[in-house]
Amino acid sequence: MSVDRDGHPPFRRYRRLRQSAGLRRFARETLLHPGDFIYPLFVTFGTGVRREVPSMPDVYQISVDQLEREANELLSLGVGSVILFGIPEVKDDEASDAYDPEGVVQRAIRELKRATPELMVMGDVCCCEYTTHGHCGILDGEIVDNDRTLTLLARTAVAQAQAGVDIVAPSDMMDGRVKVMREALDAAGYASLPILSYAAKYASGFYGPFRDAAESTPEFGDRRSHQMDPANAREAYLEIAADIDEGADAIIIKPAMPYLDVIAGARQRFDVPIAAYNVSGEYSMVRAAGQAGWIDERRVTMELLTSIRRAGASQIITYHAKDAAKWLREEYGAASTAAELVGG
């Protein structure tokens, strides 16, 4: 081994750029911004409702009349996008509230666009929150009937479009849903409305707290017949390619943390915006461990979110959005404002 004149092996001093917060910021490769975050909102019936989800600290079911306050808080933090999930007063076997013009999500879309037009509103499109059995479509026995369900999804997308949504986001994982939704939206005069497809959605154990929040636990069985096998990565790229071919403008990979390899692989293969869903189980684990004092919640949260961006996600759907936005402001100052988001 060669040595320098003092007898030391030649090496590069990486530590030079790690000695202070300023130097670390100078050398940082991956940056988070509150504008990267999409905040999930669970909208329920009634008035004056703000009900905390027991398995998700600081996450709430909120009635439509409370949304303006929530939206203004998010915008003040620099978080400019939300995705809506509905909890209807009445459920049935055909998910009628999902596509009712007066359904809970359609009313929420209209209220948000009235009160805070600069907020980008996305609508989750699926049947599981609206059916009595908690499955993602019309049942044939105990199996979800793929093709009959497509009609309901198309009707839901059009109903959300008519309410003024900015993006529709199908999460059901039925084959052919993007094609049918695109055709229905185009025929209804919404050819410019983007589709953000949950293209690679895995049958994951990390969804448990979400089902508490959305009240969508299946009455029997599970969703492995339509959500992806966690063991598969190559299949995800087939799903993504199919959705883009059918008309998806951007895609979601869900969950995020256990599938960073899939996010990175998709980033290399596809030139569309990629959102990653940092799901309820990931959130609740971090919150619980943080509250128990087992981890530094702030450090772990920011490390996780950074890893998702580093893997290649351009947006992150996350329940940590509010806290992370506050911490980013403390780190980088108050540049991440609502005015900046909307070009003011």
Conformational region of residue 323, where left means phi above 0, alpha means psi within -120 to 50, and beta covers everything else = alpha
Contacts for 100 with CB less than 8 Å, ≥ 6 apart: 106, 159
Is residue 252 a contact partner of residue 316, using CB atoms and an 8 Å limit? no
* pLDDT, position 340: 45
220: phi then psi, degrees, rounded to nearest 5: -155, 160
SS3 content of the chain, % helix, strand, coil (to 5): 45, 20, 35
Count other C-beta atoms under 10 Å from residue 7's C-beta.
6
* pLDDT, position 156: 97
* pLDDT, position 343: 39
Is residue 37 a contact partner of residue 325, using CB atoms and an 8 Å limit? yes
Distance from C-alpha of 324 to C-alpha of 308, rounded to nearest angstrom: 14
- Is 179 tagged catalytic? no
The active-site residue out of 113, 201, 322, 326 is 201
The active-site residue out of 179, 254, 322, 326 is 254
pLDDT tens across the length of the chain (344 residues): 567 777 777 888 999 999 999 999 999 999 999 999 999 999 999 999 999 999 999 999 999 999 999 999 999 999 999 999 999 999 999 999 999 999 999 999 999 999 999 999 999 999 888 998 888 888 888 888 999 999 999 999 999 999 999 999 999 999 999 999 999 999 999 999 999 999 999 999 999 888 877 777 787 878 888 899 999 999 999 999 999 999 999 999 999 999 999 999 999 999 999 999 999 999 999 999 999 999 999 999 999 999 999 999 999 999 999 999 999 999 888 654 444 443 33
Question: Which contiguous run of DSSP H or E holds residue 245?
Answer: helix 234-246
- Is 254 tagged catalytic? yes
- CB-side neighbour CA atoms (13 Å) of 199: 33
* pLDDT, position 128: 87
